[in-house]
């Protein structure tokens, strides 16, 4: 589904992403891990054509994301609160996103019922603008807005970072269900090794812009990653 070829991005003479080749198959759940500055978010932003690479290309369904927009029809992403429209209420935002995908208000309201546990009575019917929500609740809005699009490709950057433990568990279950039932391709960047190894069947470890390990998740993966980062600390 995704092919990356000779992808490079640098700032002030320093390479922050340098990936000769990477393939991601349809239905795979990919975890992207690495310390701050490893290049994870920069990679995501190039995959979403938010920034342009210095060299190379990202192909989605064999088409370059920088030269066509077809990928936007089946890709949903939440990297940070900048993806939200903060002067709207959550309901207004969900209806706006749904409208972009030819869904009416009734359809969106019905789909939002599936997120009642995930929202935990903190999102809907609160009379708040998105800008007035906590970081964790903004993340809930961003993730739910992705899912109501029914994407083929879902990209989330640090989705577990600001949400409480109960919501983390609910989010993990959502991601597992999506991958199992709908075969959605998921890319999740996270500093939480425990969560990402639990929900992803493949882990990419980045360091200084390079993918230095590509691991099929098994019972030893978490320990392997913890040992790697322990050496670096």
In a domain, 59, yes or no: no
In a domain, 128, yes or no: yes
Instruction: Say if residue 161's pLDDT is above 70.
Output: yes
pLDDT at 176: 87
- pTM of the entire structure? 0.93
In a domain, 120, yes or no: yes
In a domain, 105, yes or no: yes
DSSP conformation class of 218: -
Instruction: Say if residue 180's pLDDT is above 80.
Output: no
The answer to whether the beta carbons of residues 190 and 160 sit under 8 Å apart is yes
In a domain, 158, yes or no: no
Query: What average pLDDT score do residues 101-117 get?
Result: 92
In a domain, 145, yes or no: yes
Query: Distances from the Cα of 30 to the Cαs of 11, 114, 174, 186, 232, in angstroms?
Result: 26, 24, 15, 6, 23
In a domain, 4, yes or no: no
Torsion angles phi and psi, residue 23, rounded to 5: -120, 135
Strands 14-24 and 2-11: antiparallel
Instruction: Say if residue 145's pLDDT is above 80.
Output: yes
Compute the distance between CA of residue 173 and CA of residue 2 in angstroms, rounded to an integer: 24
Kindly state the percentage of the chain with pLDDT values over 70: 99
pLDDT at 59: 97
**Secondary structure tally for the chain: helices H, strands E:** 8, 10
Instruction: Say if residue 184's pLDDT is above 60.
Output: yes
In a domain, 141, yes or no: yes
Torsion angles phi and psi, residue 228, rounded to 5: -60, -50
pLDDT at 179: 76
Domain that holds residue 146: 81-150
How many domains in the chain? 1
Compute the distance between CA of residue 12 and CA of residue 14 in angstroms, rounded to an integer: 6
CA atoms within 13 A on the CB side of 164: 7
């Amino acid at each position: 589904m995704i092919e990356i070829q000779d992808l490079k991005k640098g700032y002030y003479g320093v390479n922050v992403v340098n990936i000769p080749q990477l393939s991601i198959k349809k239905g795979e759940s990919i975890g992207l891990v690495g310390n701050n500055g490893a290049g994870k978010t920069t990679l995501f932003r190039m995959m979403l054509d938010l920034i342009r690479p210095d060299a190379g290309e990202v192909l989605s369904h064999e088409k370059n994301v920088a030269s066509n927009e077809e990928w936007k029809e089946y890709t949903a992403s939440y990297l940070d609160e900048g993806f939200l429209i903060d002067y709207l209420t959550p309901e207004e935002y969900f209806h706006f996103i749904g409208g972009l995908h030819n869904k009416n208000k009734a359809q969106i309201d019905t789909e939002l019922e599936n997120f009642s546990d995930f929202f935990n009575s903190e999102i809907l019917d609160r009379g708040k603008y998105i800008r007035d929500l906590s970081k964790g609740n903004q993340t809930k809005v961003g993730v739910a807005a992705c899912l109501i699009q029914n994407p083929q490709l879902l990209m989330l950057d640090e989705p577990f970072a600001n949400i409480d433990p109960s919501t983390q568990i609910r989010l993990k279950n959502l991601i597992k269900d999506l991958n199992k039932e709908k075969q959605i391709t998921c890319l999740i960047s996270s500093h939480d090794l425990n969560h990402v190894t639990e929900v992803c069947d493949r882990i990419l470890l980045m360091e200084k812009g390079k993918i230095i390990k590509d691991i099929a998740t098994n019972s030893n993966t978490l320990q392997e990653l913890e040992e790697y980062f322990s050496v670096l600390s």
